Amino acid sequence: MSRINACFERLHAENRAALITFIMAGDGGEATSQAVLNALPAAGADIIELGMPFSDPVADGPSIQLAGQRALDNGHRMADTLALVKTFREQNDTTPIVLMGYGNTVYFHGIEAFIDQAKNAGVDGLIIVDIPAEHDAMLAAPARAKGLDVIQLATPTTDDVRLPAVLKNSSGFLYYVSIAGVTGSQAPDIAKVHQAVTRLKASTQTPVAVGFGVRTAEQAAAIGAFSDGVVVGSAIVDAQARAATTEEAVANVVELTNSLAEGIRRAR
């Protein structure tokens, strides 16, 4: 059983949603990025999304765009992202890590090399936001063949005609984008998200996690009451960005993650 499947199975037994936290690899420098990554599980993160910095993102809001640019300006590259995961695995063999980013960075690195190196580093899944499910053969199929989950995206505009193709090619969990916009740009309408998640869960046994726009413990609790996972990215990236030192960055992220985890734990 994959780490992602084992995580959701454990949380299902605990009757709670997963807290899925996003940070950008290389943001703040390698030492800070590693320290924040290493601190997330104890703070309450059940699954970690690790962003792969890219200069031309299409789905990222200002916070995550700036984090990616800071990482690139620091000289961070794909090999450094994989090194962060490999070091993390020296102390943690249970928390799933999902790499999130764009196809360009993977192609530039080399698809076959990327898949092999990601698997060897301890990566569990991929979210490549600009490669649709209909192009599964390009990256997702070879990744799954090597044991990596490939998480697909459903959005408020994913209709009943396209949904089967998205569900067919998704493993690990399905990522529901709660707003029609970029990350962190607006707060989700909880009632509409509930309706959408109910529709998705009626069509798949794959866990459904909700992200884009979730920033507070109250929002996490409200969505965690009916979803299988809650993804928080921009708020955590902002908390890290406000820090002047590595120690302050870890403290800021841990404080927020603790709050989000508490919100989810009291949701049901």
Whichever domain contains 129, its CATH number is 3.20.20.70
pLDDT at 182 (0 to 100): 67
pLDDT at 133 (0 to 100): 87
pLDDT at 136 (0 to 100): 84
pLDDT at 16 (0 to 100): 97
Count the helix, strand and coil residues of the chain and give each as a percent rounded to the nearest 5: 50, 15, 35
Dihedrals φ, ψ of 50, to 5°?
Answer: -115, 115
Dihedrals φ, ψ of 52, to 5°?
Answer: -100, 110
pLDDT at 138 (0 to 100): 85
Domain count, the chain: 1
pLDDT at 184 (0 to 100): 65
pLDDT at 137 (0 to 100): 86
pLDDT at 60 (0 to 100): 84
pLDDT at 185 (0 to 100): 63
Residue 153 lies in domain: 3-266
Active site residues: 49, 60
pLDDT at 51 (0 to 100): 98
Show the low-confidence residues of the chain (pLDDT under 70).
181-182, 184-185
